[in-house]
């Protein structure tokens, strides 16, 4: 095997395939990236850990076709550090030699015959604009749990209904829901799947241009999958990159019922002003201690700290519709929601101070709120 490739092309491709390699692989070959120099002029790179697979094809000048397995993380580190010159890669006995300008690296190979075959791409369901998908995923994954003892909540529920795709995530303290347009493939229909939030986030960042194709195995896309994160495989493809992932298995909670049917109280606040005020006031709040927000006509007063502890307060303008209300939130959870809105104004809708609040975005102070993204946040009980 011998081929030449541009340095940036190689670094980008190896970085993509090596991103999900396990830190402690059950067998050594699963730490590798498979390089396949194929005719005519295509270099294929693949990785697989029995849960997530990645595959990318890039242009290369192939002198001798062949395939080799090398340490993925080491090759990624080397590729990133190479000078901005063409790279030559060749197999010499049991070693791979990488040369770029005056730099030369030698890597040991691993047995290609022991490497597992990558799973086939599932059935394609349709596609979505990459930039819209990337933005939507970023808005939702902030609410996914990072507690691996509750694996169901570490996933993002992906629901497809007609020409709409909906993403949901919750960690029991907040819930994020984003709806976006969807181009259904042949057959259309309804599907649902539970995808690991980390995998979905990595896919969205790397495929955030052009159209992203979404594929789902038939056992996960069926009627049973609508109520459960049915076992199966999800696949994404865009720009010559393809990845598959096992779905999270388990019953996803019926979270939609948490949204109140109506909210008699609402407040509209400029997002930048509220974000800065929360950050300042939260400086005196001990870990996991809440920030209190007291809404009256024309303003909201933010307070943190009590008793003999350090205290802080700040008032900023707010437009209130309904009765005065005081409510407390985890400051980081509140900041996560405000940051995900991507709009200049936030509408906070309330029923009672002890019930969840719903955050939606607005283009200006008097416009209608957007219902494409909703962030529900549980309040923190205040002493007294």
The DSSP H or E segment spanning 370 is none
Q: For residue 23, what pLDDT is reported? A: 85
Give the chain's mean pLDDT.
91
Are the CB atoms for 86 and 98 separated by under 8 Å? no
Are the CB atoms for 171 and 145 separated by under 8 Å? yes
At CA 140, angle to CA 25 and CA 331, rounded to 5?
100
Q: For residue 184, what pLDDT is reported? A: 87
* Structure confidence by residue, pLDDT tens digits, 361-377: 999 999 999 999 999 99
Q: For residue 223, what pLDDT is reported? A: 37
Query: HEC profile for 21-48?
Result: CCCCCCCHHHHEEEEEEECCCEEEEEEE
β-strand partners of 303: 292, 313
Burial of 379 (0-12, 13-18, 19+ CB in 10 A): buried
Are the CB atoms for 277 and 314 separated by under 8 Å? yes
> Helix, strand, coil % (nearest 5) of the chain?
25, 45, 35
Contacts of 93 (CB under 8 A, 6+ apart): none
Please name the residue ranges forming H helices in 209-318. Answer: 218-221, 223-227, 271-281
Residues 197 and 209: their CA atoms lie apart, in Å, by 20
User: How many other CB atoms sit within 10 Å of the CB of residue 145?
Assistant: 18
- Which residue carries 């350090």 as its tokens? 310
* Structure confidence by residue, pLDDT tens digits, 62-88: 999 999 999 999 999 999 999 999 999
Name the token pair of 155: 């996933």
Q: For residue 227, what pLDDT is reported? A: 40
Residues 196 and 167: their CA atoms lie apart, in Å, by 12
| Ranges under pLDDT 50 in the chain | 223-230
Q: For residue 231, what pLDDT is reported? A: 60
Residues 202 and 121: their CA atoms lie apart, in Å, by 18
Please name the residue ranges forming H helices in the chain. Answer: 7-18, 72-81, 130-141, 197-206, 218-221, 223-227, 271-281, 331-341
């Amino acid at each position: 095997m011998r081929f030449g490739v541009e340095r940036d092309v190689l670094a980008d491709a190896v970085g993509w395939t090596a991103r999900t390699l396990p830190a402690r692989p059950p067998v050594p070959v699963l730490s590798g990236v498979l390089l396949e120099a194929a005719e005519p002029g295509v270099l294929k790179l693949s990785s697989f850990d029995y849960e997530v697979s990645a595959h990318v094809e890039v242009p290369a000048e192939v002198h001798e076709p062949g395939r080799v397995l090398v340490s993925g993380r080491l090759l990624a580190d080397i590729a990133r550090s190479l000078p901005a010159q063409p790279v030559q890669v060749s197999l010499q006995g049991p070693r791979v030699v990488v040369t770029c300008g005056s730099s030369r690296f030698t890597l040991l190979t691993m047995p290609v015959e022991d490497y597992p075959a990558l799973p086939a791409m599932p059935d394609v369901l349709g596609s979505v604009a990459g930039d819209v998908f990337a933005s939507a995923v970023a808005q939702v994954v902030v609410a996914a749990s990072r507690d691996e003892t509750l694996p169901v909540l570490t996933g993002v529920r992906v629901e497809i209904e007609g020409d709409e795709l909906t993403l949901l995530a919750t960690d029991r303290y907040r819930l994020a829901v984003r709806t976006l347009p969807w181009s259904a493939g042949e057959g259309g229909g309804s599907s649902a799947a539970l995808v690991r939030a980390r995998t979905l986030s990595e896919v969205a960042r790397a495929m955030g241009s052009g159209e992203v194709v979404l594929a789902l195995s038939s056992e996960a896309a069926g009627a049973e999958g609508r109520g459960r994160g049915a076992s199966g495989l999800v696949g994404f493809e865009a720009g010559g990159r393809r990845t598959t992932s096992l779905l999270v298995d388990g019953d996803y909670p019926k979270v939609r019922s948490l949204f109140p049917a109506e909210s008699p109280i609402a407040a509209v606040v400029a997002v930048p002003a509220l974000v800065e005020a929360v950050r300042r006031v939260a400086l005196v709040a001990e870990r996991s201690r809440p920030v209190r927000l007291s809404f009256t006509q024309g303003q909201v007063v933010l307070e943190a700290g009590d008793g003999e502890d350090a205290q802080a307060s700040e008032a900023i303008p707010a437009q209130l519709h309904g009765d005065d209300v005081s409510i407390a939130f985890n400051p980081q959870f509140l900041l996560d929601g405000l940051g995900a809105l991507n709009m200049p104004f936030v509408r906070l809708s309330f029923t009672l101070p002890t019930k969840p609040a719903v955050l939606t975005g607005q283009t200006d102070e008097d416009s209608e709120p957007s219902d494409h993204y909703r962030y529900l946040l549980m309040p923190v009980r205040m002493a007294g």
